[in-house]
């Protein structure tokens, strides 16, 4: 596999989103990943976002070279929100980041851009990096609305002040998630370029340095190609992050 590093000045991030998968039995996958990552250090930052029930157990393993993140947070610090978790609680459990605005949250829980923006603010308040997701549905892509949709999500879901340190964008076409389908390189390049332009317009230099991840059916077999697209600064990986072997296969794009 060819050696690849994304845009030279931006250190890539490859984050695994375990979604609602994993019990204590899967903790061994993290240990395997840590071993692999420390044997041959990738040039990208590596992160796993497990279900909240596993966060502190993973943190207790002190996974050298693998940062941890949450998958969602409530916008409030604490209070009467049964079943919810605050950004501060995730931080306390060992998270360094939190995914917000994933299309599954936007669809399953009716989260609006405004709600997502409040979660980004909560992440920043707690000292977590927000990984904010945008992406179009197949219907929207077919209608030629992709750029309009992702730009509107970006505008509405980010607060006025964001830095390259505390904010990461993930472009995840909804139709590519868990489907085995991926956009063409040209399609990925077009969206990432539009996102970069919008980020620079809004955040200046910080927008130029902000990481823009691609997510949606990233696998070892397509990682090198996708990760070498201009303005792709890493990946948000679902299914293929559950097994250390597959996830490390994706990290090979940065070894
Ligand atoms: P997938 O999920 O890699 O299983 O397509 C990506 C995501 O939803 O973050």
pLDDT digits (tens, 9 = 90+) for 206-252: 999 999 999 999 999 999 999 999 999 999 999 999 999 999 999 99
What's the pLDDT band for 7 if we cut at 50, 70, 90?
very low
Give the chain's end-to-end CA distance (angstroms, integer): 10
- Is the C-beta atom of 218 inside 6 A of ligand 1? yes
206 included as an active-site residue: no
Q: Please say whether the beta carbons of 196 and 205 come within 8 A.
A: no
Structural domain tally of the chain?
A: 1
In a domain, residue 22? The reply is yes
Q: Please say whether the beta carbons of 118 and 72 come within 8 A.
A: no
In a domain, residue 4? The reply is no
Q: How far is it, in rounded angstroms, from Cα 84 to Cα 19?
A: 15
Range of the domain at 163: 13-254
Ligand 1: distance of its center to the CA of 79 in Å?
Answer: 31
Number of the ligand 1 atom closest to the C-alpha atom of 104: 8
Ligand 1: distance of its center to the CA of 178 in Å?
Answer: 5
Q: How far is it, in rounded angstroms, from Cα 18 to Cα 153?
A: 23
**Average pLDDT value over all residues in the chain:** 96
- Is the C-beta atom of 135 inside 6 A of ligand 1? no
Pocket test for ligand 1, best of 69, 98, 103, 216 (most atoms within 8 A of CB): 216
Q: How far is it, in rounded angstroms, from Cα 60 to Cα 172?
A: 31
Nearest-CA residue for atom 2 of ligand 1: 238
Q: How far is it, in rounded angstroms, from Cα 80 to Cα 66?
A: 33
- Is the C-beta atom of 216 inside 6 A of ligand 1? yes
Of the listed 29, 102, 124, 192, which one is catalytic?
A: 102
What's the pLDDT band for 6 if we cut at 50, 70, 90?
very low
Q: What is the pTM of this model?
A: 0.96
Query: Residue 59: is its pLDDT beyond 60?
Result: yes
In a domain, residue 5? The reply is no
Residue 9 has a pLDDT of 81
For 171-218, the pLDDT digits (tens) are 999 999 999 999 999 999 999 999 999 999 999 999 999 999 999 999
Q: How far is it, in rounded angstroms, from Cα 73 to Cα 84?
A: 7
The domain that holds 17 is classified in CATH as 3.20.20.70
Pocket test for ligand 1, best of 239, 243, 247 (most atoms within 8 A of CB): 239
- Is the C-beta atom of 167 inside 6 A of ligand 1? no
Ligand 1: distance of its center to the CA of 80 in Å?
Answer: 31
Ligand 1: distance of its center to the CA of 172 in Å?
Answer: 8
In a domain, residue 250? The reply is yes
Q: How far is it, in rounded angstroms, from Cα 34 to Cα 19?
A: 20
Fill in the DSSP letter of residue 128: P
Q: How far is it, in rounded angstroms, from Cα 56 to Cα 58?
A: 5
145 included as an active-site residue: no
- Element of type H or E holding 16: strand 13-17
In a domain, residue 3? The reply is no
Per DSSP, helices labelled H in the chain are 27-39, 52-60, 87-93, 103-108, 113-126, 138-142, 146-157, 185-203, 205-209, 220-227, 244-251
Q: How far is it, in rounded angstroms, from Cα 80 to Cα 58?
A: 27
């Amino acid at each position: 596999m060819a050696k690849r590093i994304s845009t030279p000045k931006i250190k890539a991030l490859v984050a695994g989103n375990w979604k609602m998968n994993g019990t204590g039995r899967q903790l061994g996958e993290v240990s395997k990943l840590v071993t692999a990552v420390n044997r041959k250090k990738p040039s990208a930052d590596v992160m796993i976002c497990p279900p909240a029930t596993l966060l502190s157990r993973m943190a207790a393993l002190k996974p050298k070279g693998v940062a941890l993140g949450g998958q969602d947070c409530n916008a409030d610090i604490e209070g009467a929100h049964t079943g919810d978790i605050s950004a501060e609680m995730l931080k306390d459990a060992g998270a360094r980041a939190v995914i917000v605005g994933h299309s599954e949250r936007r669809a399953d829980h009716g989260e609006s851009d405004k709600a997502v923006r409040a979660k980004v603010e909560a992440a920043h308040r707690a000292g977590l990096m927000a990984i904010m997701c945008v992406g179009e549905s197949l219907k929207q892509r077919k209608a030629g609305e992709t750029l309009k949709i992702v730009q509107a999500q970006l505008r509405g879901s980010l607060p006025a002040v964001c830095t390259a340190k505390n904010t990461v964008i993930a472009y995840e076409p909804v139709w590519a998630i868990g489907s085995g389908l991926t956009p063409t390189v040209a399609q990925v390049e077009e969206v990432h370029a539009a996102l970069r332009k919008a980020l620079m317009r809004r955040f200046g230099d910080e927008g130029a340095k902000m990481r823009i991840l691609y997510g949606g059916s990233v696998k070892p077999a397509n990682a090198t190609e996708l990760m070498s697209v201009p303005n792709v600064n890493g990946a948000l990986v679902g299914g293929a992050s559950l097994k250390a072997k597959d996830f490390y296969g994706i990290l090979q794009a940065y070894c």
